[in-house]
């Protein structure tokens, strides 16, 4: 009889007999149902929020920052400062007689003076001749602009006279001064030769920076 009453209660029918037994069975069923509902609710919260309290997990981005390395290549730029030295050009040349007379004990010679501030070269000298009746003239003047060398020849020329008696009978000494002008600067070296009585010989040579060069023979 008691089992029949429980089955009938499960289908929702209420009876007055066996009330205590029926109430006890109902409480048991309600507890079981409540426990099942609680477990289901907890499972849903854990699935949705990730924490039992329903609060969302505070998940921080713990990704490791990537360091960016920049390699800068510097190219050294070398500039060659190439300065072209000025190579003077010969602009003018001249020679004039300073004195003519009989030679004494003084030997034949010449000197070279470089004047860089005025871009000139001055040659002074004395040529021996057969008599004093000669004048100085420019002979060959060879100037190599690339190498900066200059070769000068001063020659003695017989001057015209009305008669042989007009000239002294002695060994002559013809003094001269010759100037060479350049547009900018002076040569690096100069050599001087004398031409007299059919003979040419080198008298002196000088380099720029050595000052004045004098040589006597």
Q: In angstroms, rounded to a whole number, what is the distance separating the alpha carbons of residues 129 and 172?
A: 5
Q: In angstroms, rounded to a whole number, what is the distance separating the alpha carbons of residues 186 and 91?
A: 11
The answer to whether residues 103 and 205 belong to one domain is yes
The answer to whether residues 19 and 122 belong to one domain is no
Question: How confident is the model at residue 202, as a pLDDT?
Answer: 97
Q: Which residues of the chain have pLDDT under 70?
A: 1-85, 162-165, 210-217
The answer to whether residues 108 and 194 belong to one domain is yes
Domain annotation covers residue 180: yes
Domain annotation covers residue 118: yes
The answer to whether residues 98 and 167 belong to one domain is yes
Domain annotation covers residue 76: no
89-126 pLDDT, tens digit per residue, is 999 999 999 999 999 877 799 999 999 999 999 999 99
Question: How confident is the model at residue 112, as a pLDDT?
Answer: 98
- Number of domains comprising the chain: 2
- Using H for helix, E for strand and C for coil, what is the string for 146-213? CCCEEEEEEEEEECCCCCHHHCCCCCEEEEEEEEEEECCCCCCEEEEEEEECCEEEEEEEEECCCCCE
Domain annotation covers residue 166: yes
Structural domain of 31: 2-49
Question: How confident is the model at residue 1, as a pLDDT?
Answer: 45
Say if residue 6 is exposed, middle or buried (CB neighbours under 10 Å; 0-12, 13-18, 19+). Answer: middle
Residue 159 contacts by C-beta under 8 Å, 6 or more apart in sequence?
A: 133, 134, 135
The answer to whether residues 26 and 111 belong to one domain is no
The answer to whether residues 40 and 97 belong to one domain is no
Domain annotation covers residue 83: no
A 10 A CB-CB count for 27 gives 10
The answer to whether residues 36 and 113 belong to one domain is no
Domain annotation covers residue 58: no
Q: In angstroms, rounded to a whole number, what is the distance separating the alpha carbons of residues 5 and 25?
A: 11
The answer to whether residues 170 and 105 belong to one domain is yes
The answer to whether residues 94 and 15 belong to one domain is no
- pTM score of the predicted model: 0.58
Question: How confident is the model at residue 182, as a pLDDT?
Answer: 97
User: Angle at Cα 149 formed by Cα 145 and Cα 151, nearest 5°?
Assistant: 115
Residue at token pair 């007999």 = 17
The one-character DSSP state at 88 is -
Q: In angstroms, rounded to a whole number, what is the distance separating the alpha carbons of residues 183 and 150?
A: 15
User: Angle at Cα 104 formed by Cα 100 and Cα 110, nearest 5°?
Assistant: 65
Whether residue 169 contacts residue 176, with contact meaning beta carbons closer than 8 Å, is answered with no
Question: How confident is the model at residue 81, as a pLDDT?
Answer: 46
The answer to whether residues 44 and 99 belong to one domain is no
Domain annotation covers residue 164: yes
């Amino acid at each position: 009889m008691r089992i029949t009453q429980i089955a009938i209660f499960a289908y929702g029918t209420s009876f007055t007999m066996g009330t205590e037994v029926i109430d006890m069975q109902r409480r048991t069923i309600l507890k079981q149902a409540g426990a099942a509902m609680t477990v289901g609710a907890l499972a849903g919260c854990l699935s949705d929020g990730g924490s039992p309290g329903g609060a969302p997990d505070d998940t921080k981005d713990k990704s490791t920052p990537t360091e960016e390395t920049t390699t800068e290549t510097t190219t050294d730029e070398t500039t060659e400062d190439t300065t072209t030295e000025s190579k003077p050009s010969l602009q003018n040349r001249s020679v004039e007689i300073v004195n003519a007379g009989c030679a004494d004990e003084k030997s034949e010679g010449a000197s070279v003076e470089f004047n860089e501030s005025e871009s000139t070269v001055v040659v002074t000298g004395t040529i021996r001749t057969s008599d004093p009746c000669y004048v100085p003239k420019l002979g060959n003047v060879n100037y190599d602009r690339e190498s900066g060398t200059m070769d000068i020849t001063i020659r003695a020329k017989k001057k015209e006279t009305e008669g042989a008696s007009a000239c002294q009978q002695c060994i002559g000494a013809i003094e001269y001064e010759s100037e060479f002008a350049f547009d900018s600067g002076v040569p690096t070296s100069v050599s001087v030769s004398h031409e007299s009585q059919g003979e040419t010989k080198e008298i002196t040579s000088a380099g720029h920076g050595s000052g004045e060069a004098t040589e006597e023979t």
